[in-house]
């Protein structure tokens, strides 16, 4: 199985620790509204291309700044029992991470995802 690299855009400074060069678990908490986590397929993209992707598809009236992104392999989600769903053909690089467990197990999974990811700042 070929692993695919995804990026989770970091919209808040409390999603990472710059001095420690790490992503925090909060970056991987799914939306309380949708119970999904938005990620982008960034396999084979240069950092500047990832930046452009974020500027085009993520920046809006509510999200005005992207600090960077967490790089993470698809297998990291699958290992935790999560699903990677490409559900919008109009935006083929976008995916939602679905199938999140109940609240009691969420903290453990978000910490494991943060540990499996790599910080990239713009």
Left, alpha or beta for 14 (phi > 0: left; psi -120 to 50: alpha)?
alpha
pTM over cut 0.85: yes
Number of domains in the chain: 1
Q: Which domain holds residue 25?
A: 5-121
Banded model confidence at residue 1, pLDDT cuts 50, 70, 90: low
Residue range 15-61, pLDDT digits in tens? 999 999 999 999 999 999 999 999 999 999 999 999 999 999 999 87
- The pLDDT assigned to 103 comes to 87
- The pLDDT assigned to 82 comes to 98
- The pLDDT assigned to 62 comes to 78
Handedness of CA 76, 80, 86, 91 (dihedral sign): negative
């Amino acid at each position: 199985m070929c692993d695919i690299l995804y990026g989770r855009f970091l919209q808040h400074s409390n999603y990472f620790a710059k001095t420690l060069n790490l992503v925090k678990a909060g970056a991987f908490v799914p939306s309380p509204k949708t119970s999904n986590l938005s990620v982008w397929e960034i396999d084979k993209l240069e950092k500047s291309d990832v930046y452009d992707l974020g500027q085009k598809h993520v920046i809006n009236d509510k999200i005005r700044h992207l600090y960077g992104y967490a790089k993470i392999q698809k297998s990291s989600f699958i290992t935790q029992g999560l699903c990677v769903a490409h559900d919008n053909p109009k935006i083929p690089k976008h995916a939602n991470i679905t199938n999140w467990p109940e609240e009691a197990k969420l903290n453990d999974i978000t910490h494991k995802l943060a540990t499996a990811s790599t910080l990239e700042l713009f």
